[in-house]
């Protein structure tokens, strides 16, 4: 690595900046550029079918401005623009945006693509930065400004002949952030002189961070300065279009809105050239989690993710904000514990406010379910293990059982270095707390105590299978459990007692069963046993036997 190749860019500073004190209080105008900027960056650009699917998704989400393509540069884009008209897939609610460069033949092709659209935005761009002027175009400041002015004249004249479509204009000084601010302003003013916007028919001035070269605060200063210096502010919409080269696309767009921008261009999940365009999903849901209506609907996130992955033929990262498969999953034990307790508190309090640690958004809002919230691997604790057993199988383990089970699960996940499923945890639970060997309960009946002539049946007679051999045991006590424990003591000649006991119902209606959890003291040592049966006494007897089996 040769660091001497690099230097800090000349820093733009605007001491009169107002943005750091501002908050975002309402949603900007959104424009999706998935079908243009996003599509241009794909390994396998979308054909008609995938474009249509993406377009339909964008409309379903609620975008009212969509850059549908670059029809003068791509036949596929031209044909797609026509297809939307032919298939009657456009309406008054949509402003279809198309990109063009400033050449007469390109501009006539652009208008031809828009025939039949009720509303359209013709988006003109040319690059303005010193490096592009000098090295790419070989033109000076005056010539590059003239290029923009000529382009503006062409789109203005083209629109004049275009009676049935309500056309607005957009101009982008490409590579704006690397352009001298006074020059970017001068070019935009010259373009506006030609386009003559009005408050009723605003022109969009789009200020792209074509390549992100500074931290987000510098971009915000540039936007703040531009908004303060551009004329006809009431007749223009300031739009921002950030890319993510330094990983600050979202921050830059949010700060730009604080600095005065009205509109944001970006793509779903940030697909776009190099490190991508800004991610509109993150921006919109950031607003949502602050209680601000973004106007976009992401309530079926799994479907949106699936469609975007299909259209772009690129996967969305598991940790991508809001959309990734793992973003509502906690593996760490302390996180799981906090989530589990907080979800229970919220449920019990009946309050609507979402304030759950580690979960900035309610997964249900995005059609994601709690089952995926907690997953278990070696980093997890008893909270996660017991959460899964409860949510998937209805078992509400006492604390001591949770601790013991979690230790066993951790041994397994430490060894496997892998995740364990709820079914896997259930298997561990059954192995550890419900062993059926060497002793199994076959049947039991309550019997009177010896010499007791009353109706009371305080004795028990049980048939057990011990190492495959049927054996009958008898005992007496204050109730069936006590009598059963005494019967076991008599048979095994060991000190056996119940240290702790709890049970709850599982299932509902005619399928309801009882599950008993018993802490059994055998010769001064504690063993855990669980039993499940439709009869609650049998469930408890099975739990005692299970505890005994663990001890044997």
Residues that bind ligand KIV (CB under 6 A): 37, 99, 125, 172, 174, 206, 208, 210, 241, 243
Residue 37 or 519 with smaller CB distance to Zn ion? 37
Distance of CA 306 to the CA centre of its chain: 13
CB 249 to ligand KIV: min, Å:
11
CB 123 to ligand KIV: min, Å:
7
CB 227 to ligand KIV: min, Å:
18
Binding partner of residue 307 among ligand KIV, Zn ion, none, CB cut-off 5 to 8 Å per kind: none
Binding partner of residue 521 among Zn ion, ligand KIV, none, CB cut-off 5 to 8 Å per kind: none
CA atoms within 13 A on the CB side of 331: 12
Residue 241 or 375 with smaller CB distance to ligand KIV? 241
Task: List Cβ neighbours of 273 (8 Å cut-off, separation of 6 or more).
Answer: 37, 40, 41, 243
Binding partner of residue 128 among Zn ion, ligand KIV, none, CB cut-off 5 to 8 Å per kind: none
Residue 36 or 432 with smaller CB distance to Zn ion? 36
Distance of CA 271 to the CA centre of its chain: 16
CB 171 to ligand KIV: min, Å:
10
Token reading at 295: 């106007």
CB 76 to ligand KIV: min, Å:
18
Which of 33-41, 167-175, 375-383, 493-501 is the region at the interface with Zn ion (rule: CB under 5 A)?
Answer: 33-41
How far apart (Å, rounded) are the C-alpha atoms in residues 392 and 426? 9
Distance of CA 189 to the CA centre of its chain: 41
Binding partner of residue 174 among ligand KIV, Zn ion, none, CB cut-off 5 to 8 Å per kind: ligand KIV
Task: Please give the angle made by the CA atoms of 356, 299 and 289, to the nearest 5 degrees.
Answer: 40
Task: List Cβ neighbours of 510 (8 Å cut-off, separation of 6 or more).
Answer: none
Residue 99 or 191 with smaller CB distance to ligand KIV? 99
How far apart (Å, rounded) are the C-alpha atoms in residues 277 and 253? 11
For every residue of 47-73, DSSP letters joined together read -HHHHHHHHHHHHHHT-SEEEEE-TTT
Task: Choose, by CB under 5 A, the member of 17, 32, 34, 37 that binds Zn ion.
Answer: 37
CB 234 to ligand KIV: min, Å:
23
* 152: number of Cβ within 10 Å: 23
Q: Report whether 124 contacts 98 (CB < 8 A).
A: no
Residue 37 or 77 with smaller CB distance to Zn ion? 37
Residue 37 or 476 with smaller CB distance to Zn ion? 37
CB 504 to ligand KIV: min, Å:
60
Distance of CA 463 to the CA centre of its chain: 56
Which residues lie near Zn ion (CB under 5 A)?
37
């Amino acid at each position: 690595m040769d660091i001497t190749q690099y230097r800090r860019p000349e820093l733009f500073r605007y001491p009169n900046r107002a943005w750091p004190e501002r908050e975002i209080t309402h949603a900007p105008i959104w424009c999706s550029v998935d079908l243009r900027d996003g599509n241009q960056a794909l390994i396998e650009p979308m054909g008609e079918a995938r474009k249509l699917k993406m377009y339909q998704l964008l409309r379903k989400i609620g975008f009212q401005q969509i850059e549908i393509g670059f029809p003068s540069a791509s036949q596929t884009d031209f044909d797609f623009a026509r297809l939307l008209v032919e298939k009657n897939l456009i309406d008054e609610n949509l402003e279809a945006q198309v990109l063009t460069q400033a050449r007469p033949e390109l501009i006539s092709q652009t208008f031809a693509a828009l025939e039949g659209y009720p509303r359209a935005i013709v988006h003109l761009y040319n690059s303005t930065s010193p490096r592009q002027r000098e090295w790419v175009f070989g033109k000076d400041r005056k010539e590059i400004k003239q290029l923009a002015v000529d382009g503006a004249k062409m789109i203005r004249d083209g629109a004049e002949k275009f009676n049935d479509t309500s056309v607005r204009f957009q101009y982008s000084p490409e590579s704006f952030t690397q352009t001298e601010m006074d020059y970017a302003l001068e070019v935009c003013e010259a373009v506006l002189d030609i386009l003559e916007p009005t408050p009723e028919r605003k022109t969009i001035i789009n200020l792209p961070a074509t390549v992100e070269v500074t931290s987000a605060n510098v971009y915000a200063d540039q936007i703040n300065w531009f908004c303060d210096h551009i004329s006809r502010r009431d007749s223009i919409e300031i739009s921002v279009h950030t890319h993510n080269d330094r990983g600050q696309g979202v921050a830059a767009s949010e700060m730009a809105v604080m600095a005065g921008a009205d509109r944001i261009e970006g793509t779903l999940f940030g697909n776009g050239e190099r490190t991508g365009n800004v991610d509109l999903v993150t921006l919109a849901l950031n607003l949502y989690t602050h209680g601000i209506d973004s106007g976009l609907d992401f309530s079926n996130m799994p479907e949106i993710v699936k469609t975007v992955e299909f259209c772009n033929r690129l996967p969305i990262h598991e940790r991508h904000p809001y959309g990734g498969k793992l973003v509502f999953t906690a593996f760490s034990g302390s996180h799981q514990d906090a989530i589990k307790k907080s979800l229970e508190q919220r449920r019990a309090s009946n309050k609507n406010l979402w304030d759950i640690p580690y979960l900035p958004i309610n997964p249900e809002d995005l059609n994601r379910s709690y089952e995926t919230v907690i997953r278990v691997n070696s980093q997890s604790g008893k909270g996660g293990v017991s959460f899964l057993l409860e949510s998937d199988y209805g078992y509400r383990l006492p604390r001591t059982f949770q601790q013991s089970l979690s230790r066993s699960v951790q041994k397994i996940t430490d060894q496997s270095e892998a995740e364990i499923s709820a079914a896997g945890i259930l298997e561990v639970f059954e192995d550890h707390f419900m062993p059926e060997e060497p002793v199994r309960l076959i049947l039991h009946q309550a019997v009177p105590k010896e010499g007791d002539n009353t109706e009371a049946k305080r004795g028990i007679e049980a048939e057990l299978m011990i190492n495959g051999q049927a054996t009958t045991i008898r005992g007496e006590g204050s109730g069936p459990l006590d009598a059963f424990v005494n019967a076991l003591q008599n048979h095994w000649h060991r000190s056996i007692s119940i240290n702790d006991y709890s049970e709850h119902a599982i299932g509902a209606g005619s399928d309801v069963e009882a599950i008993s959890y018993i802490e059994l003291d055998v010769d001064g040592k504690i063993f855990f046993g669980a039993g499940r049966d439709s009869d609650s006494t049998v469930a408890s007897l099975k739990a005692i036997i299970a505890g005994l089996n663990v001890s044997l």
